[in-house]
Amino acid sequence: MPLVRRVTRVKTLLILIVAALVAGLPNAALATSSNAYQISVTGDHISVGISGSLFQNITTTSPFNLTIDHSNSTALTQDLNNSLRRLDSQVWVESPSLTASSNGTILTYSLNFSVLGAIHSYFGGSASADFAWRSFKVQEGVMSNGVAFNLVGKSEVGQSLVTLAKNSLLPNPSRIETVTFQMGRAQISPLQIEQLVPNLNLLDFSSLSASLDLWSGGFNTDSQMTAWTSHVGFDILAKISINEATGETVTTTEEAIYSVGATLTAPGFASPKGNLVYFGSNLLEPVFASVIIVAFAAWALTALADRRLTRSRRLGKRRK
């Protein structure tokens, strides 16, 4: 086979291998959401931005507005440090801020802070970030102006759910009331409601403890970032059917929905392992080394096949 054709074939194989390699890395959606837990590696620290909302029509909570910034953030800083250091004693929080408001039915909030002590640099330009703290749970109320922001879900909504569950178990001679509860898509018993109440803190991200290898996502060619996504929150539905003595049946639904999508991003091509994310220029070297090895192997096999075919043809001509 002419040398030009062999070179062309090797180039084609290399292009196909690189294309397959890139296609194997899913493009993560980096679009922001109104309810989002954004974790981003930024220089020597990690930036965290959390925006969440709680909708509920189970009870009417007291309306409020609160703002915590550098002028009154001492308690918030301590609460966050305590929560994160339960999972990673080497990190600390700086510059936290929190705004929150509620009209009695819909509560929205935005929490921002920086995490330091989690990034480690290595010789050659590579680095790693430890995200063991990402599944933190704030147990304190996060008080401001008499409002325990973090406990709204547990103290008010949760207690109303418990009362509803207990009442559903009491007999009533004048009417027959049936209450069914759902958590997500799964039906749960009234007795399980009381067990759920301690987990209704708004700043409870303990469900994000799964290894980062199990999060969905990958390298995004447009942004040149690597991202992984997950989800946290709860959705509790109470369906109440009342058979009145008159024979009329009245059905109502009450619900508490809290949902936050989590996104973790790192610069360039990054690789997760447990709680760690490795990133930096050196990470690409093993990838392209593999491409070169595979391409060379493909070229070697092609050349060997060509030689055998040429030799076979020559022997055939001699026999004739």
Q: Beta 64-68 vs 92-102: how paired, if at all?
A: antiparallel
Structure confidence at residue 160 (pLDDT): 87
What type of residue is 138?
V
Of the candidates 155, 178, 197, the one whose C-alpha atom is nearest the C-alpha of residue 238 is 178
Residue pair 203/12 in contact (Cβ under 8 Å)? The answer is no
Instruction: Flag whether pLDDT at 269 surpasses 60.
Output: yes
What is the average pLDDT value for the chain, to the nearest integer?
Answer: 79
What gap in Å lies between CA 204 and CA 86, rounded to an integer? 13
Instruction: Flag whether pLDDT at 12 surpasses 60.
Output: no
Q: How do residues 28-65 score in pLDDT, each as one tens digit?
A: 333 334 689 999 998 889 999 999 999 999 888 889 99
**Counted domains in the chain:** 1
What gap in Å lies between CA 182 and CA 65, rounded to an integer? 31
Residue 87 lies in a domain: yes
Residues present in the chain in total: 320
Residue 57 lies in a domain: yes
In this prediction the pTM is: 0.74
Residue 318 lies in a domain: no
Range of the domain at 147: 3-12+33-311
Q: How do residues 65-106 score in pLDDT, each as one tens digit?
A: 999 999 999 999 999 999 999 999 999 999 999 999 999 899
Residue 241 lies in a domain: yes
Structure confidence at residue 175 (pLDDT): 59
Of the candidates 105, 202, 191, the one whose C-alpha atom is nearest the C-alpha of residue 153 is 202
Lowest mean pLDDT among 21-25, 59-63, 132-136, 157-161: 21-25
The burial of 294, by beta-carbon neighbours within 10 Å (0-12 exposed, 13-18 middle, 19 or more buried), is given as middle
Of the candidates 106, 131, 107, 108, the one whose C-alpha atom is nearest the C-alpha of residue 120 is 131
